[in-house]
Amino acid sequence: MQRAVLLWQCPDQPGIIARLSGLLFEHTGNILSSDQYTSDPEKGRFFIRIEFVFDEDRYTREHLETALADAAQELEAEWGLHYAGRVLRLAIAVSRYDHCLVDLLYRVRSGEMRVDVPLVVSNHESARQLVESHGIPFHYVPVTAESRAAQEARLLTLLRDASDFLVLARYMQVLTDGFLRSYGKDVINIHHSFLPSFKGADPYRQAYDRGVKIIGATAHFATTDLDEGPIIEQVVGPVSHKDSVDDLRQKGRELERTALANAIRAYIEHRVIRYRNKTIILG
Amino acid sequence: MQRAVLLWQCPDQPGIIARLSGLLFEHTGNILSSDQYTSDPEKGRFFIRIEFVFDEDRYTREHLETALADAAQELEAEWGLHYAGRVLRLAIAVSRYDHCLVDLLYRVRSGEMRVDVPLVVSNHESARQLVESHGIPFHYVPVTAESRAAQEARLLTLLRDASDFLVLARYMQVLTDGFLRSYGKDVINIHHSFLPSFKGADPYRQAYDRGVKIIGATAHFATTDLDEGPIIEQVVGPVSHKDSVDDLRQKGRELERTALANAIRAYIEHRVIRYRNKTIILG
Amino acid sequence: MQRAVLLWQCPDQPGIIARLSGLLFEHTGNILSSDQYTSDPEKGRFFIRIEFVFDEDRYTREHLETALADAAQELEAEWGLHYAGRVLRLAIAVSRYDHCLVDLLYRVRSGEMRVDVPLVVSNHESARQLVESHGIPFHYVPVTAESRAAQEARLLTLLRDASDFLVLARYMQVLTDGFLRSYGKDVINIHHSFLPSFKGADPYRQAYDRGVKIIGATAHFATTDLDEGPIIEQVVGPVSHKDSVDDLRQKGRELERTALANAIRAYIEHRVIRYRNKTIILG
Amino acid sequence: MQRAVLLWQCPDQPGIIARLSGLLFEHTGNILSSDQYTSDPEKGRFFIRIEFVFDEDRYTREHLETALADAAQELEAEWGLHYAGRVLRLAIAVSRYDHCLVDLLYRVRSGEMRVDVPLVVSNHESARQLVESHGIPFHYVPVTAESRAAQEARLLTLLRDASDFLVLARYMQVLTDGFLRSYGKDVINIHHSFLPSFKGADPYRQAYDRGVKIIGATAHFATTDLDEGPIIEQVVGPVSHKDSVDDLRQKGRELERTALANAIRAYIEHRVIRYRNKTIILG
Q: Which residues contact C85 (CB under 8 A, 6 or more apart)?
A: C2, C3
User: H helices of C125-176, where?
Assistant: 128-133, 148-159
What confidence score (pLDDT) does residue B226 get?
Answer: 78
Residue B26: band (very low, low, confident or very high) from pLDDT cuts 50, 70, 90:
very high
What confidence score (pLDDT) does residue D283 get?
Answer: 87
Among all residues of chain B, which has the CA nearest to that of C261?
Answer: B254
**CA-based torsion, D203, D208, D210, D216: positive or negative:** positive
Q: What is the Cα–Cα distance from B32 to D24, expressed in whole angstroms? A: 70
What confidence score (pLDDT) does residue B41 get?
Answer: 54
| Helix or strand run (H / E) with residue B118 | none
Whether C69 shows a pLDDT value over 80: the answer reads yes
**CA-based torsion, C250, C256, C259, C261: positive or negative:** negative
Residues in chain D: 283
Chain mean pLDDT for chain B: 94
Inter-CA distances, C22 with A173, C59, C273, D257, Å = 56, 15, 23, 44
- Of the candidates A188, A191, A210, the one whose C-alpha atom is nearest the C-alpha of residue A201 is A191
Position D152, amino acid? E
Q: Per the residue annotation, which of B186, B227, B243, B247 is the catalytic one?
A: B227
Whether A75 shows a pLDDT value over 90: the answer reads yes
Radius of gyration of chain D (CA): 21
Q: What is the Cα–Cα distance from D136 to D116, expressed in whole angstroms? A: 10
* Chain D contact set for C21 (CB, 8 A): 15, 17-18, 21-22
D148 by DSSP, 3-state: which? helix
Q: What are phi and psi of B36, to 5 degrees?
A: -130, 145
Per residue in A121-173, pLDDT (tens digit) is 999 999 999 999 999 999 999 988 888 889 999 999 999 999 999 999 999 98
Residue B227: band (very low, low, confident or very high) from pLDDT cuts 50, 70, 90:
confident
Write down which chains contact chain C via at least 3 CB pairs under 8 A: A, B, D
Architecture of domain B2-83: 2-Layer Sandwich (3.30)
Write down which chains contact chain D via at least 3 CB pairs under 8 A: A, B, C
Which of B98, B99, B106 is closest, CB to CB, to C102? B106
Strands C120-122 and C138-140: parallel
Q: What is the Cα–Cα distance from A32 to A51, expressed in whole angstroms? A: 5
User: Are B73 and B83 within 8 A, CB to CB?
Assistant: no
Partners of C195 in the beta sheet?
none
Residue D200: band (very low, low, confident or very high) from pLDDT cuts 50, 70, 90:
confident
| Interval B116-140 mean pLDDT | 97
Whether B240 shows a pLDDT value over 90: the answer reads yes
Position A260, amino acid? L
Which residue numbers of C are catalytic?
Answer: 227
Q: What is the Cα–Cα distance from D263 to D271, expressed in whole angstroms? A: 10
Mutate to test the interface with A, among B8, B34, B53, B240 (most CBs of A within 10 A): B34
Question: Cβ separation of D233 and B213 shorter than 8 Å?
Answer: yes
What confidence score (pLDDT) does residue A200 get?
Answer: 83
Domain spanning D90-281: CATH superfamily: Formyl transferase, N-terminal domain (3.40.50.170)
Whether A42 shows a pLDDT value over 80: the answer reads no
What confidence score (pLDDT) does residue C41 get?
Answer: 54
What confidence score (pLDDT) does residue B48 get?
Answer: 97
Residue A41: band (very low, low, confident or very high) from pLDDT cuts 50, 70, 90:
low
* Angle at the Cα of B19 from the Cα atoms of B17 and B25, rounded to 5 degrees: 95
- Of the candidates B217, B183, B181, B5, the one whose C-alpha atom is nearest the C-alpha of residue B103 is B217
- The nearest CA of chain B is from the CA of A22 a distance in Å of 5
Inter-CA distances, C269 with A279, C171, C265, Å = 43, 24, 6
Mutate to test the interface with B, among C99, C134, C256, C269 (most CBs of B within 10 A): C99
B/e letters for D124-158, b = 16+ CB within 10 Å, e = fewer, are: eeebeebbeeeebebbebebeeeeeeebbebbeeb
Q: What is the Cα–Cα distance from A282 to A82, expressed in whole angstroms? A: 15
| Interval A2-21 mean pLDDT | 95
Whether A249 shows a pLDDT value over 90: the answer reads yes
- Of the candidates D123, D59, D47, the one whose C-alpha atom is nearest the C-alpha of residue D276 is D47
> Chain D residues contacting A, CB < 8 Å?
33, 98-99, 102, 106, 110, 112, 133, 242, 250, 253-254, 258, 283
Per residue in C155-213, pLDDT (tens digit) is 999 999 999 999 999 999 889 999 999 999 999 999 999 999 998 889 999 999 999 99
User: What is the residue extent of each domain of chain C?
Assistant: 2-83, 90-281
Whether D42 shows a pLDDT value over 70: the answer reads no
D23 by DSSP, 3-state: which? helix
Residue B1: band (very low, low, confident or very high) from pLDDT cuts 50, 70, 90:
confident
What confidence score (pLDDT) does residue C39 get?
Answer: 87
Q: How many CA atoms lie within 13 A of D283 on its CB side?
A: 23
- The nearest CA of chain D is from the CA of A30 a distance in Å of 18
* Angle at the Cα of A202 from the Cα atoms of A200 and A205, rounded to 5 degrees: 125
Residue A241: band (very low, low, confident or very high) from pLDDT cuts 50, 70, 90:
very high
* Angle at the Cα of D118 from the Cα atoms of D117 and D123, rounded to 5 degrees: 90
The rounded percent of chain B whose pLDDT value lies above 70 is 99
What confidence score (pLDDT) does residue C42 get?
Answer: 58
Strand (E) positions, chain B? 2-11, 30-38, 45-54, 78-83, 90-94, 120-122, 138-140, 165-168, 187-191, 214-221, 231-238, 272-275, 278-281
What confidence score (pLDDT) does residue B18 get?
Answer: 94
What confidence score (pLDDT) does residue A225 get?
Answer: 84
Whether D237 shows a pLDDT value over 70: the answer reads yes
Position A24, amino acid? L
CA dihedral B253, B255, B260, B262 (to 10 degrees): 150
**CA-based torsion, D249, D254, D255, D256: positive or negative:** positive
Q: What is the Cα–Cα distance from A231 to B171, expressed in whole angstroms? A: 43
Give the predicted TM-score (pTM) of the model. Answer: 0.94
What confidence score (pLDDT) does residue D25 get?
Answer: 95
* Chain D contact set for C22 (CB, 8 A): 18, 21-22
Q: What are phi and psi of D127, to 5 degrees?
A: -90, 5
Which residue has better confidence, C174 or B20?
B20
- The nearest CA of chain C is from the CA of D38 a distance in Å of 6
Question: Cβ separation of A34 and B36 shorter than 8 Å?
Answer: yes
What confidence score (pLDDT) does residue B105 get?
Answer: 96
Q: Which residues contact A60 (CB under 8 A, 6 or more apart)?
A: none
CATH topology match: B2-83 vs B90-281: no
* Chain B contact set for A21 (CB, 8 A): 15, 17-18, 21-22
Inter-CA distances, D143 with B149, C6, D148, D160, D180, Å = 59, 58, 6, 19, 17
Whether C144 shows a pLDDT value over 70: the answer reads yes
A74: burial class by Cβ within 10 Å (0-12, 13-18, 19+)? Answer: exposed
Q: Is B227 a catalytic residue?
A: yes
Whether C10 shows a pLDDT value over 80: the answer reads yes
DSSP 8-state class, residue B39: -
Cβ contacts below 8 Å, chain A against chain B, sum to 66
Whether C89 shows a pLDDT value over 60: the answer reads yes
Among all residues of chain B, which has the CA nearest to that of A53?
Answer: B14
What confidence score (pLDDT) does residue B141 get?
Answer: 95
**CA-based torsion, C77, C83, C86, C90: positive or negative:** positive
Q: What are phi and psi of C103, to 5 degrees?
A: -65, -45
- Of the candidates A134, A135, A133, A122, the one whose C-alpha atom is nearest the C-alpha of residue A91 is A122
Question: Cβ separation of D33 and C32 shorter than 8 Å?
Answer: no
User: Are B235 and B265 within 8 A, CB to CB?
Assistant: no
Partners of D199 in the beta sheet?
none
| Interval A207-213 mean pLDDT | 96
